[in-house]
Structures are given as C-alpha cells and as structure tokens.
Amino acid sequence: MLNEKNIILGVCGSIAAYKSAVLVRLLVKAGANVRVILTEGGEHFITPLTLATLSKNPVHSTYFDAETGVWANHVELGLWADLLLIAPATANTLAKLANGLCDSLLAAVYLSARCPVYVAPAMDLDMWAHPATRANMATLQRHGVTLIPPGNGELASGLSGEGRMAEPETMLDFIQQKLTGPLPLAGKFALVTAGPTYEAIDPVRFIGNHSSGKMGLALAVELHKLGASVTLVAGPGTPASPEGLNRVNIRSASDMLQACLEYYPAADITIMSAAVADYRPAQPAGQKIKKNSPTLTIDLEKTPDVLATLGAQKRPGQTLVGFALETEHEESYALAKLDKKNLDLIVLNSLNDQGAGFGTNTNKITIFNRNGEKTAFDLKPKTAVASDICAAVLRQMGL
C-alpha cells in the first residue's frame, strides 16, 4: 500500500520522539521512501544519526547546513512528498501550523506541501484538552489536515489520560487505510473462534487440547485490518487481543455455542478456528476427586457440535469457514466435514506436516471450497496464513 510512496516525517520536541525510530522502520519496511525533518526541539530527544540510518536518507533540520553547504529546499521537499506526517506533533507545532507561522524548515515545508498532511499529537492531557490547542487542531482540520487521534494511557508527566501519541503500528494502519480508500470488508461483521475448550472433570481438572489460539487471533486481526467489525470468541489461553476487537472469553464447548448463537445471526463472515473438545465428562464431580483408587473411570458424552449447529442455521449471504486438523485420510475427512456441516470453505492442516498444528507460530494449510477446488500453501507464519484464508474468503464473497 505504501510501496514507493514518498513520505516526509516531521519529528518535533517531545519525549514521544523516541517512537519515531520505530515509525521510520515500519514505513521503510512497507516500501516507502522516507525523509525526516527534525526540529530543533526534536534533536534533544533523538539523534539525526539514528533517523538517517533507519530512513537511509540524510535528516533535514535547518534551511542551510553550514558544514556541508547544502540548502534544504522546502519547496522541493513539499513537492516531492506524497504524504507529510508529523509525529510527534507538539502543542507548539500545532499552534504554528494553524496560524501560518514559518520559523522552521518543517513549517515551511508544511506551507509548501501539496500532499495530504497527517498529524499525530503528543502532549500532556491538560495541554491536549486546553481550548487553545483544540481550536488550533480544529483550524488545521478545516485546512484539510488529518488527525491521528492520540491514545489514552500513562504520560511522561506521570499522569494518565488522553494525549499519548498513537503507537507506530497504529499510525501505519491508520495511514494505509486512509490512502487505500474503503476497505473490502468495511461494513461487514465477522465472528471468529479461537483456542481450546476445557471440559470440567471436577473443579480442578479438565479435558482439553493443545490449541494456543494463535491462528484464530491472527484471523481476527486480519479481518479487522480488512475493515470488518470483529467479535472474537476466545478459549482459555488465547493471547491478548489488540484494540478494536470485541472479545468474549469462554471456557467450555457449551459456553462457545452460547456465545456463537448470540453473534452468529448478524455475522457476514464466521471463521471457526477453535479446537472444540468432542467429548466431556457426563457427570463432572462437584468436589475435587481424591486419589483413593489406582484407576479412575470417567463416562464421557459428546459436546454440542458448534460448527454443525451454525451450518444448519446459515442463511443466504453468510460465509461459514471451518477447520479440519487431521492425522490420516486428511483430504477425504476434510471434504466430508465441508459437506456435512454446510460450510463454504474448509481449512485443512495435518499434524503430519512439521511446523503445522497446535502451539506453533507457523502453519501449513490446504483450502477447499464447496466445489471441491483445492488450494495448497507452503509452511508460513500464522499471520501470513491468516492473510491467505481471508483472501479465500474475499474470493468466496466475490469481493
């Protein structure tokens, strides 16, 4: 999305300037050509050498470098840029830009730029809430400047509140979404399940499996990046979710069924990647079972089939995706599950493939659609696997 885009990053005098190093690295990694303008105040918090090394371009700070004799042409810089991003943007800089002051190279480039301008404010909560700052920001927005909203959290002053500069990853996502226009899943609602279920034997012990929840979490994050509103139904041990996802934590198969039945009717896309236990103790003990006998017999009963239940309720326009983790007859079992449970796609992974399955950061999958068409993929990180699955979902939906 940012490949070969020319981006000027303005870095002002804020403690948040330390994050600009990460931001430059992310922008370069995304394929952008990055030039940094560092204000006099910014030089107190991060060195030009750091930013020059990461951007692979000299850092500009003044109109004229007396040592090299090089003039930083603000008009040329403004015309070169496809995007001017000021992060961190201090209260002082916002005030200058809003009132057209031109006492720095960054301000001159701002006045010369014909490209979109984004600002990511960074200041203490009282400064951000002050009527003067609010008025300056409103003026900039009337002039067409885009605000990357500050976050809410711990501040350098020791206080906690709004004013914290957005994280570099958040800024990158924000910019990519703005530059690419409407996302393919904008306005869609997605339901994702992740992780294992635990079926109680007694208050202490349970029947479970080795699912880590990493695959389901990666899918939820990818769907969110594509513009969907996402609810993640997460089994025990599923890693923490980023901001923007609605998360429902569950424990048992019955819990998962209840949560899914609540959200499924409104879902456009449902991806059931959780490893739901097939059996549970028929009569869980109310107290901890004592080790008084050399053997223990537990009667098991089937858990509710969450995927089949949703498949039976599927309405026109819904896309339902299931997973099949197999150890033998992989393809025939997966295709039978696809048909029996009324799925649109099924994702097969085999425990016979090294690096696939539970507990790893990688997976190797094969996707089948309702026509039996097969698409096989190499071993990849689960984040990349999530992209492949979501791409198949988009094709299935005709998007």
**Mean model confidence pLDDT for the chain:** 90
Of the candidates 73, 157, 85, the one whose C-alpha atom is nearest the C-alpha of residue 116 is 85
Q: Name the catalytic one among 6, 73, 92, 209.
A: 209
* Domains detected in the chain: 6-180 (3.40.50.1950), 189-287+296-397 (3.40.50.10300)
Supply the pTM of this predicted model. Answer: 0.60
Q: What is the DSSP letter of 275?
A: B
Task: Take residue 310 and report the two structure tokens written for it.
Answer: 């949703």
List, as residue ranges, the binding site for CTP. 278, 288, 304-307, 323, 337, 341
From the list 303, 369, 315, 311, the residue with the least C-alpha distance to 341 is 311
Q: Please give the structure tokens belonging to residue 1.
A: 């999305």
Q: Is 209 a catalytic residue?
A: yes
CB contact at 8 A, 88 and 121 = yes
Per DSSP, what are the bridge partners of residue 367?
A: 347, 375
pLDDT, tens digit, 9 for 90 and up, residues 115-133: 889 999 999 988 998 999 9
Question: String of b and e for 144-165 (b: at least 16 CB within 10 Å)?
Answer: ebbbbebbeeebeeeeebbbbb
Residue carrying structure tokens 């750091």: 50
**Half-sphere exposure of residue 352, counting CA atoms within 13 Å on the CB side?**
7
Residue-wise pLDDT tens digits, 232-286: 999 999 998 876 678 999 999 999 999 999 999 989 999 999 999 999 999 999 9
Residues 6+ apart with CB under 8 A from 274: 193, 194, 195, 196, 197, 211, 213, 216, 233, 235, 256, 306
First to last CA, the chain: 18
The answer, yes or no, to whether residue 290 has pLDDT greater than 90, is yes
pLDDT at 69 over 60: no
Asked whether the beta carbons of 119 and 140 are under 8 A apart, the reply is yes
Q: What is the pLDDT of residues 337-365, one digit of tens each?
A: 999 999 999 999 877 777 666 768 899 99
